[in-house]
Amino acid sequence: MKVAVECQSPLLQKSLEVFLAKYLSLSKKSDIIIRDEECLNDERCFYIASNEKADLLKPFSKSQLILALEKKYNELYPNTKQVKEVAVEKEKPMSFEILEKRIELLTQEYQANILRAVKAFYEK
């Protein structure tokens, strides 16, 4: 599932980008386009608002968003459900080596900053 986010609200736009980081795509290449304004004549449109016409009502959680998007995707593309299941099986296990190294570097940098601050305080 490929998703594009086109919201007028900067807060909603950024929140959706964070929630859907692994699904984001360009509008032209996306399966679903999420908007916070009503859509006219675009069946790929997924409308988020506080009114009854919305596909997803505000406020919502990340899991509610994902479930609603998957439902919409299955309505638009009913024959691709099997392909989705096969794709999940082929995913490689995540490697956390890069993340661990980054955390280690940040920790060392943080420790150095604290030591500098303590030394500067006692040298006065």
CATH number for the domain spanning 59: value is: 3.40.50.2300
For residues 63 and 40, state if they share a domain: yes
For residues 60 and 75, state if they share a domain: yes
For residues 37 and 80, state if they share a domain: yes
**Residue 35 tokens, joined:** 């908007």
Of 71, 65, 91, the residue nearest 7 (C-alpha):
65
For residues 122 and 66, state if they share a domain: no
Residue 86, pLDDT score: 46
Domain that holds residue 8: 3-90
For residues 29 and 82, state if they share a domain: yes
pLDDT in tens, the chain (124 residues): 899 999 999 999 999 999 999 999 998 899 999 999 988 888 889 999 998 888 999 988 899 999 999 999 988 888 775 445 445 545 556 677 888 888 898 899 999 989 999 998 888 7
Amino acid at the residue 89: E
For residues 30 and 85, state if they share a domain: yes
Q: In what order do the strands lie in the sheet with 32-35?
A: 3-6, 32-35, 45-49, 56-57
